[in-house]
Amino acid sequence: MKRLATALLLVLCGIVPARAQTVADPIPIGIAVAQTSNIALFGQEQVNGAKVAEARINAAGGINGTKIALAFQDTGGDEAGAVNAFQNLINRDKVVAIIGPTLSQQAFAADPLANQAKVPVIAPSNTAKGIPQIGPFVSRVSAPMTQVAPHSLKQALRQNPGIKRVAVLYAQNDAFSASETEVFQQAVKDLGLETVTVQKFQTTDTDFTTQVTTVLGANVDLVVISGLAADSGNLVKQLRQLGYKGQIVGGNGLNSPNMFPVCGALCADTLVAQAYSPAAVEHNPVNKAFVAAFEQAYKKAPAQFSAQAYAAVQVVAEALAKVERDSGKKITSFELPQLREALNAALRTGPTLTPVGEIAILPSGEIDQKDFYVSKIVMQPDGTTGAFVLVTE
Ligand code: 1QQ
């Protein structure tokens, strides 16, 4: 007892360094997504998907008998909120890894903190160019728009071979939107189409009369939109209200059923490329089980952001199991900094079957994914509910 008190005194006085803390039991995994703000339209789906993963992993015995515990921190929709959530998870909740944040715009602000603290970050929905390049502790399970977005343009052209003139619109104050529009504009060129006007807006805009008037005057057959939540939905709505009759292609910001109430009946027929389909269950037992568990919990089919959040929790759990296997040590006997390093390395092995198909995180932190889809929004007569209906290629 006396020796212990002396040791404690020496640590408190900073004479000998404190032993690094071991990993808590249950194993804490941080979830830093937007539970409030208009980005919660996406974040809520992420929370739901992550919770289904936690329940299924723990019901199957956790990590060789040790349970995982998701630590949720709301990021809101901006950079400051993401930075704050990351700091709490790293320093207070002592998580082994962070899944988040929702937006690329937030990731470019918050991920460098985790990278510097050597805490693995797994992005569940950041699709801009340059996310894994933030640092060696940053990876993603969300396929970049460079791989996803061109599919929707090809499908638009297949459906309407007469398309020639294209209007491109994007949110200039958002990193994802600025990145996605570059991909779209390049794809327009590659497909031999002509971009006749590029219109910018802000994610906070609600009135798009100026942009829509220009688009209508430009006589285009296709409108391509890169924005976030309410902005994208209102833009689709106002294009239709003011009389645009041609095809609309939406980017990843329109990739959520939570957007349907924003544009209502006028969402109909918008094409969206997706990195997930709840219908792709025939050759994917993991997706089949996920869809069933999700439907049981939430009485609706899961959408992309839920499936990607599930996949993120799944790859962390599998990497934790790999660390135990390779080291012959229980996760809870590791010191936290060592575990975080080992986990970061173990994440970059694969492939593994997830709800979004077989994926691997490459040594660079980039995802390797094979299956992508294009869906058309079909709205119910009530004008608020609808579905993404797969369009076969
Ligand atoms: C990003 C995105 C958003 C649209 C996800 C919600 O893809 O910010 O990278």
pLDDT by residue (tens digit) across 228-257?
Answer: 999 999 999 999 999 999 999 999 999 999
Q: What is residue 329's predicted lDDT score, i.e. its pLDDT? A: 97
Query: What's residue 342's pLDDT?
Result: 98
pLDDT at 358: 98
Low-confidence residues of the chain: pLDDT under 70:
1-20, 393
**Token pair belonging to 152:** 């929707």
Q: Does ligand 1 have an atom closer than 6 angstroms to the CB of 102? A: yes
pLDDT (0 to 100) of residue 238: 98
Amino acid in the structure at residue 281: V
The residues, any chain, with a CB within 8 Å of residue 328's CB and separated by 6 or more, are: none
Helix 209-217 × helix 230-241 angle, to 10°: 50
What pLDDT sits at residue 6? 55
Contact 301, 325 (CB under 8 A): no
Written as one string, the DSSP assignment of 342-354 is HHHHHHT---EEE
Residue 1 confidence (pLDDT): 45
The residue whose C-alpha atom lies closest to atom 4 belonging to ligand 1 is 253
For atom 3 of ligand 1, the residue with the nearest CA is 103
Q: Which residues of 326-363 are buried (b: 16+ CB within 10 A; e: fewer)?
A: eeeebbeebebeebbbbbbebbbbbeebbbbbbbbbee
Provide the angle, in degrees to the nearest 10, between the axes of the packed helices 40-59 and 304-327: 40
- For the chain, give the number of residues: 393
> What is the position in ligand 1's atom list of the atom closest to the CA of 39?
6
Q: Which domains does the chain have, with CATH numbers?
A: 14-142+284-361 (3.40.50.2300), 146-274+373-390 (3.40.50.2300)
pLDDT at 392: 75
Residue 317 makes CB contacts below 8 A (sequence gap 6+) with 53, 57, 62, 63, 68
274 lines ligand 1 (CB under 6 A): no
- What per-residue confidence (pLDDT) applies to 4? 52
Closest C-alpha among 97, 75, 142 to residue 306: 142
